[in-house]
């Protein structure tokens, strides 16, 4: 049976990266590990590691991205929680068997080789959940 290993990250949608970094990095004192443009997702992500997990600040770089649409509809704030799993295909299969609605029918592969997929908030009590396999 596939298992959840850890919380990998919590993602926060932001409309102003500098203003958000002022709080997370400057006021809270969290280290900024990397600020990365992600053209495939039309976004910019700030990675702020903390005790085996990360806070990710996600800002759209295009008005037609999924993140931009989310931001326009819901405003800035919590976007999703990411759970690291040991077998993403197995976990997705178990969820499908239990009639859990997935956004991605197959895992996607990030530039760094990590596999990921999203679970629809309709099946989670309103929280967008990302599954991640390193």
CATH number at residue 83: 3.10.180.10
Q: Quick one: how far is CA 50 from the chain centroid?
A: 15
Q: What is the pLDDT of residue 99?
A: 97
Residue 19's domain spans which residues? Answer: 4-133
Residues 6+ positions from 107 with CB-CB distance below 8 Å? 88, 89, 92, 115, 116, 117, 131, 133
Q: Is 132 exposed, middle or buried (0-12, 13-18, 19+ CB in 10 A)?
A: buried
pLDDT per residue over 8-52, tens digit each? 999 999 999 999 999 999 999 999 999 999 998 899 999 999 999
Q: What is the pLDDT of residue 125?
A: 94
pLDDT per residue over 79-115, tens digit each? 999 999 999 999 999 999 999 999 999 999 987 899 9
Q: What is the pLDDT of residue 46?
A: 98
Cα→Cα distances 82→54, 63, 98, 100, Å: 10, 24, 20, 16
Q: What is the pLDDT of residue 111?
A: 79
**Span 66-72, average pLDDT:** 94
Helix (H, G, I), strand (E, B) or coil at 80: strand
Number of structural domains found in the chain: 1
Rounded distance, CA 26 to CA 79, Å? 22
């Amino acid at each position: 049976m596939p298992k959840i290993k850890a919380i990998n990250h919590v993602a926060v949608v932001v409309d102003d990266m500098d203003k958000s970094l002022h709080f997370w990095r400057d006021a809270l004192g969290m280290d900024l590990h990397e600020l990365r443009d992600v053209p495939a997702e039309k976004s910019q992500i700030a990675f702020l590691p903390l005790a085996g997990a990360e806070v990710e600040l996600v800002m759209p770089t295009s008005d037609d991205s999924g993140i931009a649409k989310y931001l326009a509809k819901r405003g800035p704030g919590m976007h999703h929680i990411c759970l690291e799993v040991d077998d993403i295909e197995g976990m997705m299969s178990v969820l499908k068997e239990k009639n859990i609605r997935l956004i991605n029918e197959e895992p996607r592969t990030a530039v760094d080789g990590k596999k990921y997929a999203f679970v629809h908030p309709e099946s989670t009590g309103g929280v967008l959940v990302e599954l991640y396999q390193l």
